[in-house]
Amino acid sequence: MLKLNRSIFFVVIVVILNPLFLRAGEPALTLIERPKIEYTADNLRDPFMSNIQFAQIDPTEKLNAIEEKEQSFPDLQVQAIVWGGNFPQAIINNTVVKIGDTISGVRIDGIDKTGIDVFYGGRKQTLHSPAAGDNSEDQKNPKRES
Average pLDDT over residues 45-52: 79
* Band (18; pLDDT cuts 50, 70, 90): low
Band (pLDDT 50/70/90 cuts) for residue 25 is low
Does 24 map to a domain?
A: no
Distance CA 21, CA 8 (A): 20
With respect to residue 51, please indicate whether it lies within any of the assigned structural domains.
no
Does residue 1 sit within a domain?
no
**Is residue 86 domain-resident?**
yes
Q: Does residue 45 form part of some domain?
A: no
Between 125 and 10, residue with greater pLDDT: 125
Q: Model confidence over 59-95: pLDDT tens digits?
A: 677 666 666 655 578 889 999 999 888 889 999 999 9
Mean pLDDT over the full length of the chain: 76
pLDDT of residue 141: 52
Domain extent for 117 = 70-145
Q: Does the residue 123 lie in any domain?
A: yes
Q: What is the distance between the alpha carbons of residues 111 and 19, in angstroms, rounded to a whole number?
A: 108
Statement: residue 142 has pLDDT above 70: no
Going by C-beta distance under 8 Å and a sequence separation of 6 or more, which residues neighbour residue 105? 74, 120
Q: Is 28 among the domain residues? A: no
Of the candidates 129, 128, 132, 107, which has an alpha carbon nearest to the alpha carbon of residue 118? 107
Which of the 8 DSSP states describes residue 130? G
Asked, for residue 52, whether it belongs to a domain, the answer is no
Task: Show the CA angle centred on residue 22, arms to residues 16 and 26, nearest 5°.
Answer: 160
- Count up the domains in the chain and report the number: 1
What CATH number should be reported for the domain holding residue 89?
2.30.30
